[in-house]
Amino acid sequence: MRSSLRISTLFAFVLLFCALTAAYGQDTPSDATTLTANPVYQKSCAKCHGKTGEGRHFGGPSLVSEKVAATSADDLRNIINNGKGRMPKYAGKLTPEEINRLILQIKAAKTKQ
């Protein structure tokens, strides 16, 4: 009896620990220097490229792919300014500074497969 009580206490602590780590994990990107923490990204891009930048909504591809990591800043700027396929153009909708910042943040984002 006693030992099963101890195990469930341990289990409760493990659950608490997981909940805390998950909450901390969600808080981490809140420094506005990362792509997913950038309000411009969340407002203009996340609906297609996903809140995490990994793509999937409305066919927007991942922005943290090997392909994007290998794309030059000039080419990224071209795609964002002029659009491509179903990707809308953002020249005139976002300022060049906002677009530059997005490019830097896309470049800085950690690549996932």
Binding site for ligand HEC (CB under 6 A): 44-45, 47-49, 58-61, 63, 67-68, 71, 76, 79-80, 84-88, 90, 102, 106
Of the two residues 87 and 104, which places its CB atom closer to ligand HEC in the complex?
Answer: 87
Tell me the C-alpha to C-alpha distance, in Å, between residue 65 and each of 76, 92, 113.
13, 27, 6
Beta bridge pairs of residue 91: 94
Give me the least distance between CB of 74 and ligand HEC, in Å please. 12
| Residue in this structure with the two tokens 């991942």, named with its chain if needed | 62
Element (H, E) at 95: none
> What does 42-53 look like in DSSP terms, one character per residue?
HHHTHHHH-TTS
Decide if 62 contacts 55 (C-beta within 8 A): yes
Of the two residues 9 and 88, which places its CB atom closer to ligand HEC in the complex?
Answer: 88
Give me the least distance between CB of 112 and ligand HEC, in Å please. 13
Give me the least distance between CB of 9 and ligand HEC, in Å please. 48
Of the two residues 12 and 91, which places its CB atom closer to ligand HEC in the complex?
Answer: 91
Of the two residues 6 and 43, which places its CB atom closer to ligand HEC in the complex?
Answer: 43
Give me the least distance between CB of 4 and ligand HEC, in Å please. 53
| Residue in this structure with the two tokens 């530059």, named with its chain if needed | 100
